[in-house]
Structure 1
Amino acid sequence: MSDVSEVQNYRLRDEIKAYWSERAATFDLSPGHEIFSEEERAAWHRLFTQHLGEGDGRKALDLASGTGVISHLMDDLGFKVTGLDWSEPMLALARAKATARARAISFRMGDAENTMEPDDHYDVVVNRHLVWTLVDPAGAFAEWLRVLKPGGILLIIDGDFVATTLRERILSRLAGWGQQLGWLKRDTASLPQEMMDIHRSILSRVYFRDGARADAVSDLLAGSGFEGITIDTRLGDIHRTQARNWNMLKGMVRKSQHRYAIRAVKPARAV
């Protein structure tokens, strides 16, 4: 890699870190980030149990853990959870939430693409809405493979928020107009124009700038050494519970998006 590329990547990653640090204060106000009902919590639990099984004290690493939403869901199921994030404001909120709920979750500063965690240490690595932001996904996937125990499971929950369908675009535009005219419920934590511009700028420069399709992510996982890769797009239970917190059109947009869970396994060592 050239020196110029390294500088560009460093600057982009700093921008991503700063963006999410700025978003921390209002992060939990948005449906799809924090859990807003016991029905949604139960739907998440079913997804994790389906792909990971019960926790039973197994070690789980939640990458880009943010305010700790996924970490708490994993803790509910009996996993021994470590949350890793590089945003200090996000970590402060996550630690405060864990203290308030009396949860024994460890939240610490760390880079999801270079975790500095030990080899063969975790039974499970999980992340939500991280992959689309990766500068070097192949390198990150190799890193996640390294920290997993042989036979350990990676679970990615993400989506393609770029290559939208015509239906999505029409619904999004109608929802926007309806909110502007006061006909539809506004989003609880709408972003100011400046933050939307920063988001678009970041998105235009990450690896998945054209959209993080599940098959493209799976191909990179296979190339990094994972096996037993499966794609689950049946997230309807989660999306239905989240849609209740939006106006009707915004809820329809969420249900029509290309969102998925990808499960992958680190090969067991040969006997």
Structure 2
Amino acid sequence: MDSLADGSNFNLRDEIKAYWSERAEGFDQSPGHEIFSEAERAAWHKLILRHLGEGKGRAALDLASGTGVVSHLMDDLGFKVTGIDWADPMIELARAKAKARGRKIAFRLGDAENTMEPSNHYDVIINRHLVWTLVDPATAFTEWLRVLKPGGAVLIVDGDFVNSNRLERLIISLSDICQRVGLMKGEPARSSAELMETHRSILSRVYFSQGARAEAVADLLRQAGFVDVTIDTDMRAIHRMQAKSFSLLKGWARASQHRYAIRARKHH
């Protein structure tokens, strides 16, 4: 692909869709995307149970479901899961993975900001690393409120991937020094230089271009009409398990980032 932004009618949302379509093939190869240990799977289960409880056949909508990683976690816990994503390659991989694992998860094309799903239909909505990419989160949150049943809950797992704190900057600097003097190898590139530049360009133009801080996301949820908005920054168990797939310094850097889960409910 010469450019993800070719064409006069190619807007930011189209660029985001094209970017994730390009990323689909290697998506499950990256730690932090797919899950590589039962210990990490258990840590994710614990987070979901803490905020959403057991599935017990309740209807769950996984937004921007990608290859279905979170959908499978929800299926593990007994939810009846529908995953939607607007990238065809992601949906194809998700369907193949579910078939290979014998899972009855429905995957279909759809837009997280305009789901076309019926009103008052889902008991829970979940998404991971979606909110930071939203062009219009206020509209998206209003849409999510619409499709939730009264008393239903949304669980957002996301982070600020723009601003680094002092500790993270120190760790990155130390990592650079160690690589230059040969004390450690550099991390293998997961994306081409062109895709990395596209990612930076997209990030500079989305709503949360200055970083998706938890309180800012929570405020928009309240403005959309959600209640009982709870911010959970205790992601340590997940980060400890993910760190086993990273270099030591990258694991420390990830653990120092502003990552969080936010649960919010629709009025009964």
Give the C-alpha shift of residue 179 in structure 1. 4.8
The answer for the alignment partner of 2:79 in structure 1 is: 79
- The more displaced of 216-225 and 166-175 is 166-175
The answer for the alignment partner of 1:4 in structure 2 is: none
- After TM superposition, list the pairs within 5 Å mapping 1:78-227 onto structure 2: 78-176=78-176, 178-179=178-179, 183-187=183-187, 190-227=190-227
The answer for the alignment partner of 2:34 in structure 1 is: 34
* Contact 1:26/1:189, CA 8 A, preserved across alignment: no
| Partner deviation per Cα, 1:24-65 (whole Å, 9 max, x = no partner) | 111111111000100000000000011000000000000000
Structure 2-normalised TM-score? 0.94
Give the C-alpha shift of residue 195 in structure 1. 1.1
CA distance in 1, matches of 2:241, 2:55: 24
1:25–1:227 CA distance, 2 compared to 1 (3 A): same
1:46–1:9 CA distance, 2 compared to 1 (3 A): farther
Q: Give the SS at the match of 1:48.
A: helix
Q: Give the SS at the match of 2:32.
A: coil
Give the C-alpha shift of residue 68 in structure 1. 0.2
Q: Give the aligned residue type for 2:248.
A: M
* Contact 1:29/1:189, CA 8 A, preserved across alignment: no
* Contact 1:9/1:135, CA 8 A, preserved across alignment: no
Root-mean-square deviation (CA, aligned residues, Å) is 1.7
CA distance in 2, matches of 1:24, 1:107: 15
Query: Aligned pairs, how many?
Result: 262
Give the C-alpha shift of residue 189 in structure 1. 5.1
CA distance in 1, matches of 2:203, 2:23: 15
CA distance in 1, matches of 2:206, 2:61: 23
Give the C-alpha shift of residue 163 in structure 1. 1.5
1:153–1:160 CA distance, 2 compared to 1 (3 A): same
Q: Give the SS at the match of 2:108.
A: strand
CA distance in 2, matches of 1:138, 1:152: 18
1:214–1:247 CA distance, 2 compared to 1 (3 A): same
User: Is 1:254–2:254 an aligned residue pair?
Assistant: yes
Residue identity over aligned pairs, in percent, reads 67
Structure 1-normalised TM-score? 0.93
Alignment gaps of 5+ in structure 2: 1-6
| Partner deviation per Cα, 1:115-172 (whole Å, 9 max, x = no partner) | 0000000000000000000000000000000000000000000000111112212322
